[in-house]
Structures are given as structure tokens and as C-alpha cells.
A and B are shown apart, each in its own frame.
Chain A
Amino acid sequence: MKRIIALMIMLIIALSLTSASAVVYPEKRGAVNDDAAVLSESTARDVELLNERSKVHFTVVTRHFLGGAEAQSYCSDLFAAWNLSDQDVLLLLVIGEEKYAAAMGGEVANKLISGEQLNSLFSSKLRQPFIQERDYDKAVGEFLLAAGAQAARAQGTSLNTAGLFGTSEVSGTSQQSSSSGNSWYNFGSWTGNLWNGFFSSEDLNDPDTTSYSFDYDHDSGFSPGKLILIVAVLFIILRNRRRRK
């Protein structure tokens, strides 16, 4: 009986910890959620048009700050909170923190754009306009065009990008992923954010700023799966002890 009570208390504590870590995310408002108001209307329109032409569906989010949250963790959690699908890519730009992150659905990550390719795209297409030029329209446009082309190339098709983001035409077969040797471990130092490393939770070589993730249970610390596992293990232990008695 005492064991059952102890088990119940443990479950209650675990569930309360799970609910305490809940974060409220903004409502999704289409393909572009420009909370930082840094993107032009034409960019927003072009993202919508690109989504109509591409198999991959892109969603862009801009924020000024994340209030201490890690960009990649926030991006992955937002991907889950918005119930984005296997064919979705969520791009997060944190303007004031000079950080960016992306989360991809399972199908995109497994078949169309690998993590290394994504980081290569970050390096070759997004970094320069985002950090140095602060041309956020250009950063989003170049990154999405290259990512869309990469996905089309992986499918063996081409992507019609005529007129999107100020380009004439880009095809999936003509776009080549550059600097494939780049690893996301190398990207930490570009951020220009001297604050990195100030707190123990941040690191100059923090891969979260540029890597991608599909692990929706990344920061929750608890999940129904883990709960079932704990209950099952405890059940087996208790049953074995009773049998011995």
C-alpha cells in the first residue's frame, strides 16, 4: 500500500513538473509570422508563392528577443506547438540576439534536406545578409530559395522560382549546395553576440543556433512515453519483490 502511495506521489510530482515547464507560444498567422516587423510585404507574399510551388512548406518567424530561451529549443518547440507536418520547415530569426535556427519535419529531414545541407545553407545563404548586412528580406529569400531548390533536387524535380524574392529563375537542378565541408560546429563564433557564454546555459559554440531538431521532447523533461516507461518498470520491480516474498 505504501508503495502504491509513493508511486502515486511520484506521478503527481512528475506531472506537475511537466505542466510547470509549459511555455505559451504565439498563434500561427500564416507562412510568415513577422513579430519583429523586419520583413517586407513582398517577402511575405513570395514565401506564400514559394509554398504553392514547392513540396516543402516553409514557415518563417521573426522575433526581437527570446527572453533567455535558446533559439533552437524555442524553434523546435514552436514547430511542435504549431503542429507543423513532416513536410514543413520552420525558420526562426531572432533579430536582437543575432541568432537563427530551423526545425524540419521528419520527411524533409530524412529525404530532402540533411542537417549538414541545412547548415551549409545557413552558412552560404543566410549568415552574411542576416548578420553583416542586416538585410532580412534577402536572408530569408536566399535561404528559402536554396532550401526549396535543394528539396526539389533531392526529389529529382525542378523548382520554378521565377519572380520570387527578386530573382529571375532558379531551378532545383541548377542550384548547388556550397561549402559542403562546413560543419555546424563551426558556426558558433559568427553570431557577433558577445553575450554568448555569459551564462552557463549559453556557449559560443552552441550548436543550437544553427542546427535543427526533431526532438519535440527536447526540454520538457517529461513525456507520456517516459511516464509509461517509469510505471512499467516500477510495476515489474514491485511484482518481482512480491513473488520473492
Chain B
Amino acid sequence: MSENTSSAEKPLVKEKKTLDYRIALAIMIVMIVCALLNGASKAWKKNRSSVDAAYVVLEENLQQRVETAYNLLTVAGRYLASDDSLIAAVKSDLKTMESAGASADMETRVKAGYSFPTDAQSLLKALSGNQAVQNDSRDKMYVELMLPQAVEQCSGTAAMESYRSASQSYNDGLRSFSGFLARLTGVSFAPTLETVSSSQSAAAE
């Protein structure tokens, strides 16, 4: 009776040991995969932070242009008709720059931002030649001193170039194996500025 019992218990113990080994192996594999994914995700998120920092600078630059455009249009509106072509050009730039900040629209917004200085300078030139502006000491000061300075200050292309290079190198790196793993965890490509040509930015200067 006792022999039967012991012989019946033995296979049970063996089976239990095999089950534990498989589970341990599976857990180990899962942990290795998780570690790889986690490591890749962390590393690429860290890399992404430099792109995000450049993006913040670019957004600030665009915001400066938006504010300058509003200020310029405020003064211009006192002297020119609202359907004036120079005003319409600045207004169009402003509208595009202010459009929803979705990443897909960024390139369009940046394009508008970098055509703004040219349009703004044309408008300032027209205002400067306006006799009514010349007769108004306050607005003359705005048109000939403050607003040109504001346009000048925000018309550089450094922010755009900085973002462009940061996003390009980040996106190139994200096509590697570790980048592939990171993308599995939700890390995405950064929006690019490929079609904003350097000639456009030079023209903006």
C-alpha cells in the first residue's frame, strides 16, 4: 500500500520540476525582451529631449514673429485699408503661423514664419513713406525704430537650422536596430523641415 503511494507521487514531482523550469525560462526571456525594449525606449527618449529643446526654441521664435505681426498690423491698420495687399500678406503669414500647432503643420507654419520678415519689411517701408505716419511722432517711432528692431530680432534662421539638424540626426538614428526597438514602445519620429529649403531661409534673412 505504501509502495503504491510512493510510486504514484514520483511522476508528479518530476512534472512539477519541468513546469517550473519552463516558466523560469519564459520569465527570463520576457525580462530580457522587456529590458531591451526599456533600455532602447529610455535611450531614445533621452535623445528626443534634445530635439524637443530645439523645437521649443523654434516655437518661441515663431511666437515672437506672431507677436511682432500683431503689433505691426495694429499700427498699419491705422493708416492703410484692411484689404491692402501688403497688409494681406502679413495677415496671411500671421494666420498660418497661428494655425493649430500640430506637428504635421509645423513645416507650413515655419515657412510662413520665414516669409514674414520680408513681408513685414515691405509693409514697414510703405508705412515709413506715408505722410500721416510721418506727422505722428508716436507711430513714426514705432514704424522707424521699434517695429523694424522687432522684425530684425526674430528674423534669424538659427532656430530653424538647429531644429532641422537635431531632428534629422534623431530620425536617422531611430532607423537603427535599437531605434526599431524604441519605436515598438511608442517612440516616434520627430517632425522634419525637409521642404523648407535653405534658399527660403536665406531669403528670410
Give A residues with C-beta under 8 Å from B. Answer: 64-68, 95-97, 134, 192-195, 198
CB < 8 Å: which of A67, A134, A193 contacts B138? A134
A95-B138, A134-B138, A198-B73 given; A67·B66 CB < 8 A: yes
A193-B77, A195-B78 given; A67·B142 CB < 8 A: no
Would you call A67 and B67 a contact (CB within 8 A)? yes
Would you call B77 and A68 a contact (CB within 8 A)? no
17 contacts between A and B (CB under 8 A): A64-B142, A65-B67, A65-B70, A65-B74, A67-B66, A67-B68, A67-B71, A95-B138, A96-B71, A96-B75, A96-B142, A192-B78, A193-B74, A193-B77, A193-B78, A195-B74, A195-B77
Q: Is B185 an interface residue when CB atoms closer than 8 A count as contact? A: no
Assembled-state Cα–Cα distance A193/B139 (Å): 12
Assembled-state Cα–Cα distance A193/B66 (Å): 19
A67-B68, A67-B71, A68-B70 given; A198·B77 CB < 8 A: yes
Q: Is B103 an interface residue when CB atoms closer than 8 A count as contact? A: no
CB proximity to A under 8 Å, residues B59-75: 66-71, 73-75
**B68: chain A residues within 8 A (beta carbon):** 67
**B70: chain A residues within 8 A (beta carbon):** 65-68
Return the CB mask of B80-113 against A: 1 if under 8 Å, else 0. 0010000000010000000000000000000000
**A193: chain B residues within 8 A (beta carbon):** 74, 77-78
Assembled-state Cα–Cα distance A198/B68 (Å): 16
**B91: chain A residues within 8 A (beta carbon):** 198
Most chain A beta-carbon contacts within 10 A, residue among B73, B74, B76, B78: B74
Give B residues with C-beta under 8 Å from A. Answer: 66-71, 73-78, 82, 91, 138, 142, 146
**A96: chain B residues within 8 A (beta carbon):** 71, 74-75, 138, 142
Could you tell me the distance in whole angstroms from the C-beta of B153 to the nearest C-beta in chain A?
13
Could you tell me the distance in whole angstroms from the C-beta of B67 to the nearest C-beta in chain A?
3
Give 17 new A-B contacts, CB below 8 A, not counting A95-B138, A195-B78.
A65-B74, A67-B66, A67-B67, A67-B68, A67-B71, A96-B74, A96-B142, A97-B74, A134-B138, A193-B77, A193-B78, A194-B78, A194-B82, A195-B76, A198-B73, A198-B77, A198-B91
Could you tell me the distance in whole angstroms from the C-beta of A93 to the nearest C-beta in chain B?
13
Residue of B whose beta carbon sits closest to that of A67:
B67
**B138: chain A residues within 8 A (beta carbon):** 95-96, 134
Assembled-state Cα–Cα distance A97/B77 (Å): 10
Most chain B beta-carbon contacts within 10 A, residue among A64, A97, A134, A192: A64
Could you tell me the distance in whole angstroms from the C-beta of A3 to the nearest C-beta in chain B?
21
Could you tell me the distance in whole angstroms from the C-beta of A84 to the nearest C-beta in chain B?
25
Could you tell me the distance in whole angstroms from the C-beta of B62 to the nearest C-beta in chain A?
12
Would you call B71 and A198 a contact (CB within 8 A)? no
**A65: chain B residues within 8 A (beta carbon):** 67, 70-71, 74
Most chain B beta-carbon contacts within 10 A, residue among A96, A134, A192, A193: A96
Residue of A whose beta carbon sits closest to that of B146:
A64
Assembled-state Cα–Cα distance A193/B75 (Å): 8
